[in-house]
Structure 1
Amino acid sequence: MAQTDPTLTRRTLHYYWQATRNHLGLFIAMVCSTIGFGVLLTYGNPFMMSLIVDRVSAGPVAADQVFQVFWPYIVALIAINLLGQASSKLQDYTLWKLEIAVSYDLATQAFDALSNQSMTFHSNRFGGTLVSQTTKYMNAYSQLVETLTFPFLPVLESVVMVCIILLPRVPVYVAILMAMLVVYAFISYRMYKRILRLNEQAAGAQNNLSGELSDSVTNILAVKTYGREDYERALFDQANREVVARDSKRMMASLARGVITACIALCIMSMVTVFIAGGNAWFGITPGTLVLMFTYTYTITNQFNFINSGLQRLNRAFGDAAGMTTVLDEPRLVADAEDAQPLVVTEGRIEFKDLDFWYTDGDVKTQVFDKFNMTIEPGERIGLVGMSGAGKSTLTKLLLRLSDIQEGEILVDGQNVAETTQQSLRRQIAYVPQEALLFHRTIAENIAYGKPDATMEEIREAARQANALEFIEKLPEGFETVTGERGIKLSGGQRQRIAIARAMLADCPILVLDEATSALDSESERLVQDALARLMAGRTAIVVAHRLSTVASLDRIVVLRDGKIAEDGPHEELIQAGGEYAYLWGRQTGAYLES
């Protein structure tokens, strides 16, 4: 069985306290109103009634003397209830307001943590799981605060009020009661620690279930076209059964704790019954104090019973928050330097100097680049080609700082990208990948993503230059058409042209095209190639391609092999050299056939 990180709960509380501290006034008001509400209505009312009972038991009061004798008690009871109700309503307001305010901060905190993590981080996790963890993390705070407000603060004030009011009157009874409550609390805490681990495991199983569902739904086309519904259902069922097993263990442990604590509560009520029955005869306890003993003991026992459900909610809250707490604790693999400056691009010169980069998978280290050097002049259009795994796409991701190099430098106009802010770097580089990255938003919003303040005329012009205007205008809602999740409502060529229009509108001095045409049909490729030619004009461009016809017309072609430059030069020169590029060209164009 996996062991729970002993610091995880403390780390969760740390993050929650950071958010709560921003609204400290609301938190203090909530605590004070909760205490005031409980003290006044739960303990003030019975205390005043005990004084009335003692006064009544002291001797009869004439009918015409009732108000004269009892008016102080009546006024006190009205004042206690008035203040108690006001505290109750203040508690409702401050609790609700606090949850709203802190939930906003926690959502922002989680979003910032996820959006600022590296691509390596996201490639190793289900998107659906991260969304589920974020939602649970926010909801867990509300559970935690409500558990503090209702079972735990009232229990604390019950112990204090019982000691203050009953200890001077019946010290022996209070001593026995407190001893039994200590046993109750100790057993509850020990079982709480065990159930906390079970809750974290149950939350982890639920996150895996969400991840399986998300993965299957996201790739539903592959599932259906390969007839793998049964296979995906089996995977989902396995994760679902794990959730049932974990929840069942948590349920049995919680029920066992409930039975044990109920037995202790029964002992406590049995003791108070004996004391009330014989208290006056044995110890001369007044009727009013006997009323207080029963009322307070019954109240405190009920509140300790609520601790069971409170601890269960507390366990669930910490278990639900554990996933996102782990994410928040995760170090950023790519982070801005403390003194990072905005990148300023005036020419677009790119230099890779003595580049070392490797990645690890478990204990296996894979070296991608070793002392790699390459320079791209301002406005130069170069193609990166080579066999799969040669490092082509990796090089572009290192330029964008989606991963960080271990040694060496990447310079843009003489500025080390590691010393510039990531946002300013990426705003100077238009990136068009093989699969267009579209949001579930309108076409206009998708095109304007790189320039949110663009006018409609600018958006239309970018679409025109990207050869996208014609098909957009044929859509029933034109530019207001919602593309669907990841642009699913559009064809591959249409999505790619919208991505190119976005890059056109962003007007960055550096352009990176990563297999931007490899998945297109001939007609779509022709339209996209035409759009890309316009996009590359006047810009420093890096084009990653397996299809060599994509790069044949570029200024320079770099052939990578095992993270090193195997060949470098224009298309005609490389063909005449008869090396690796010429071989690949021949294979793709049929320039020669093997016998």
Structure 2
Amino acid sequence: MKKEPSISAEPRLRELIPLLWNKLGSSKLLFSLAIFLCLCQLGIDMIIPYVLELYFNMLDAGDINKVSGVIITFNVVFLTLTGLGLLGHYLRQNNMSILHRVVTLDLADHAQRLPLENASASHSADLSQRIMWDSNKVTQLLVTIFNHMGSQILLLLFACAYMLTLHWQVAVGAMILMPLSLLGSHLLRHRLARIAKEVADQESAVKQSQQDALQNMDMLRAYNARDWMTERFVAERRKLNALYMRRMWWQQLVHTLSVTSALLIAWGTILFVAWLAVQNKIQLGALMAFFVLVWRVYNPLLNLGRLWGEAQEAKGAAARLATLWRALKEPSDRNEPNGIPASVSEELHPGIPILSWKNILFQYEEHASIQLTEQAAPVSEASDPAAAPLLQQFDLDIRQASFTAIVGPSGSGKSTVAKLGAGLLFPQRGIVEICGSSSLRDAEQARRSVAYVPQNPYLFAGTIRDNLRLARPGASDEELVEAARAAEAHAFIQSLPDGYDTLLSEHGSSLSGGQRQRLAIARAMLADRPVWILDEATSALDTETERRVMDNILKRAKQRGSALLVIAHRLSTVQEADTIIAMENGEIVEQGTHGELLAPESGVYGSLWRQMEGDRPEPAITAS
């Protein structure tokens, strides 16, 4: 079973570092080697003051012959350490790319396992911001802590140790004052983390506004609302700019405190050492080494304050990742074997329904979003007891090789029943069983038995062939064409310039609504699963095309023993159903065949049928 990250809502560094370290997996050794090689720069930084000390002492003592040997040795060591450092930077970047890929894939997996109701209430731009950009800030924490801060701390320690060998009193005085340079960033760490999270949230809001504008150009132009969308974007961007300014001022405050304290330490040390040299209490070589070492102390003090502030800002981005990691997820049993037998419907006992809803209570959340919770499955009671449930004590069984239709007025709960049956929604109470598997135990496993086609199917940017094979990647070209023919899609696909290799635009917007529906039906046929659920899947087709498509679907379903559930407003679509379910206000009020349900004059189905008959246009009268 895949272990979920254990992390608090506002993660601390002591949680984030082990989490990221574990996600390195087999790359831990290479990452450690990369950090070690990157630290070779420290050798160069520490050799320079030592070489200066030797050089000036030799000059002062008149040992000119030894100077060339020192210089040659220094150049060889310098070039060697520089080469090792470059190799370390390459390995470090490669490992960080691998870590970022692992984290983004993990976050994408968590986003995919959000309950549909919660995921739909979260803007895709916000999820994208968390998965791609916030994760990048967080994964860089390992480099910030181990490489950047680690190298600065080691440089500071080495410099202080070297200074102790030259003049321990000066070194101790400087070391006592050093914590002052880190005080500002430490005291402001919570403020930096909060402003970083606010900035990330507002960056997400700006991206959401931009994405809405790009994806809804037709509506904006149809209603001449481009100025409204521009004003909305400008308003969100203005808020973001204000947050950028606030973050800049806090960062500048930390920087100023660090620079001021570090400069005081550096210049105080330089002035005191210069006074010692005037008093002949320190050698010339030691004086020159001290001048270099002072800056070896100054730069780490300055950089550590800045890097500590960056680490705190990364914690703000980590809080957004924690929201996704800790969010309520679909029911899942990752110990279950992947996939289901190809003939699940045949393995069920004849007396067991292939699809059943048992004592279902369901209502939509008013404020569904990415929810923070420690639960593993959405099985709690309805959150608002005062609100009337959409479905209450709903029971329905569907048998193998049957054709069942659900009809009713808008808002009666038809599509909700279909999504519950497809394992896309989960009841607050009750059980939905698909081929004997409960969707509340493992939603992904249960969904493998269902081919679901909604009224507005989604087509991905790519070829028609790829969109169809999404349902069954291993399908042959012959099977693909057979499914397209059955869905009455083959003819229009062949008329396209590149046939099945025609590239579709985002959302499949280059096709008509009827063409998209036919491709979605072909995709469901290609999936060839024990249960087919069509939710207004032929609403964009003309009557004759719809009749041919439904005939082909029924023929194919009967051949394979699959159960067919159709949600329809157009009642002519479902006249041949074995059982027609009429719903009203979330309840089943009638069920039977077409003929049986037409008999009662006051029945729901009869009323809908007569209304449909009355809406048909009268035949045109021609002049004689």
Q: Share of identical aligned residues, percent?
A: 27
Q: CA RMSD in A?
A: 2.7
Aligned residue runs from structure 1 range 478-493, under 5 A: 478-493=499-514
Spell out the pairing of 1:279-428 with structure 2 (5 A cutoff). Answer: 279-282=276-279, 284-311=281-308, 313-336=310-333, 338=335, 343-344=340-341, 345-347=344-346, 349-362=354-367, 364-365=384-385, 366=387, 367-419=389-441, 421-428=442-449
Q: Which of residues 562, 582, 593 is equivalent to 2:585?
A: 562
User: Deviations for 1:106-160, whole angstroms, at most 9, x for unmatched residues?
Assistant: 2221221122222122111111221222220343256434434664123201221
1:473 maps to 2:473: no
Residue aligned with 1:402, SS:
coil
Counterpart pick for 1:495 among 498, 509, 516: 516
Q: Does 1:548 align with 2:571?
A: yes
Compute the displacement of 1:246 (Å): 0.8
What's 1:581 paired with?
605
- TM-score of the aligned structures, taking structure 1 as reference length: 0.90
Contact (CA 8 Å) 1:136, 1:321: kept in 2 or not?
no
CA contact 1:9–1:322 (8 Å) conserved in 2:
no
Displacement, 1:413?
A: 4.3
Counterparts in 2 of 1:247 and 1:284: CA distance versus 1, 3 Å: same
Q: Which residue of 2 aligns with 1:98?
A: 95
Q: Distance in 2 between matches of 1:151 and 1:16?
A: 16
Secondary structure, aligned partner of 2:504: coil
Q: 1:204 aligns with which of 195, 201, 204?
A: 201
Deviation of 1:586 (Å):
1.7
Pair 8,185 (structure 1): closer, same or farther in 2 beyond 3 Å: closer
Deviation at 1:355, TM superposition (A): 2.5
Contact 1:468 1:497 in 2 (8 A): yes
* Deviations, residues 506-541 of structure 1 (Å, cap 9, x unaligned): 111211001112344556545544544445444211
Name the SS of the counterpart of 2:589 in structure 1. Answer: strand
Asked if 1:18 is matched to 2:25, the reply is no
Offset of 1:218 from its aligned partner?
A: 1.8
2:517·2:540 contact (CA, 8 Å) conserved in 1? no
CA shift for structure 1 position 375: 1.4
1:47 matched to 2:47? The reply is: no
* TM-aligned CA distance change 1:573 to 1:433, over 3 Å: same
Find the aligned partners of 1:510 and 1:150 in 2 and give their Cα distance.
55
C-alpha distance after superposition, 1:3-41 (max 9, x if no partner): x95436665545423323441112211221233331x10
Q: Distance in 2 between matches of 1:524 and 1:324?
A: 48
1:155 to 152, 155, 165: 152
* Alpha-carbon spacing, 1:261–1:415, altered in 2? closer, same or farther (3 Å): closer
Contact 2:330/2:443 (<8 A) preserved: no
- Looking at structure 2, the residues matched to 521 and 172 of structure 1 have their Cα atoms a distance apart, in angstroms, of 94
The answer to whether the Cα contact below 8 Å between 1:355 and 1:405 also exists between their aligned partners in 2 is: yes
1:361 is matched by which residue type in structure 2?
E
Once residues 157 and 9 of structure 1 are traced to their aligned partners in structure 2, the CA distance between those partners, rounded to angstroms, is: 20
Alpha-carbon distance in 1 for matches of 2:37, 2:310: 22
Relative to structure 1, the CA distance from residue 10 to residue 402 in structure 2 (aligned partners, 3 Å threshold; closer, same or farther) is: farther
Please give the secondary structure, in 2, of the residue aligned with 1:354: strand
- In 1: Cα distance, 2:12 partner to 2:410 partner: 41
Partner of 2:451 in structure 1?
430
**C-alpha displacement of 1:282:** 4.8
In structure 2, what is the Cα distance between the partners aligned to 1:424 and 1:249? 48
What is the CA–CA distance in structure 2 between the aligned matches of 1:93 and 1:470, rounded to whole Å? 53
**Which blocks of at least 5 consecutive residues in structure 2 are unaligned?**
1-7, 347-352, 368-382, 617-624
Partner of 2:379: none
Change (3 A) 1:173 1:210: same
Q: Counterpart amino acid of 2:425?
A: S
Conserved? CA contact 2:422–2:533, under 8 Å: no
Count of aligned pairs: 582
Matched to 1:403, the amino acid is: L
Say whether the 8 Å CA contact 1:195–1:250 is kept in structure 2: yes
Quote the Cα distance in structure 2 between the aligned partners of 1:154 and 1:391.
62
Query: Does 2:34 align with 1:33?
Result: no
- Distance in 1, matches of 2:430 and 2:212, equals 37
CA separation of 1:190/1:531 partners in 2, compared to 1, >3 Å: closer, same or farther? farther
Q: Given residue 155 of structure 2, which amino acid in structure 1 is its aligned partner?
A: S
**Is 2:243 the counterpart of 1:241?**
no
Contact 2:547–2:573 under 8 Å retained in 1: no
Tell me what 2:372 maps to.
none
Tell me how far apart the structure 1 counterparts of residues 13 and 570 of structure 2 sit (CA, whole Å). Answer: 52
Q: CA deviation at 1:332?
A: 0.9
1:242-261 residue pairs with structure 2 within 5 A? 242-261=239-258
The verdict on how the C-alpha distance between 1:573 and 1:167 changes in structure 2, with shifts beyond 3 A counting, is same
- Per-residue CA distance 1:28-69 (angstroms, 9 max, x = gap): 11221233331x100122113213323433x323x6xx14xx
Contact 2:10–2:318 (Cα < 8 Å) also in 1:
no
Change in 2 beyond 3 A, CA 1:341/1:445: closer
**Amino acid in structure 2 at the alignment position of 1:144:** L
How far apart are the structure 1 equivalents of 2:45 and 2:546?
76
1:532 and 1:10, CA in 2 relative to 1: closer, same or farther beyond 3 A?
Answer: farther
Q: Tell me if the contact between 1:431 and 1:513 (Cα under 8 Å) persists in the aligned partners.
A: yes
Report if aligned partners of 1:208, 1:239 keep a CA contact under 8 Å in 2.
yes
Partners of 1:96 and 1:350 lie apart in 2 by: 51
Matches within 5 A, 1:167-182: 167-182=164-179
Code of the aligned partner of 2:471:
G
d(CA) in 2 for partners of 1:402, 1:415: 14
Q: Are 2:220 and 1:223 aligned?
A: yes
Cα deviations across residues 258-288 of structure 1 (Å, max 9, x unaligned)? 2222222321232022122211345712222
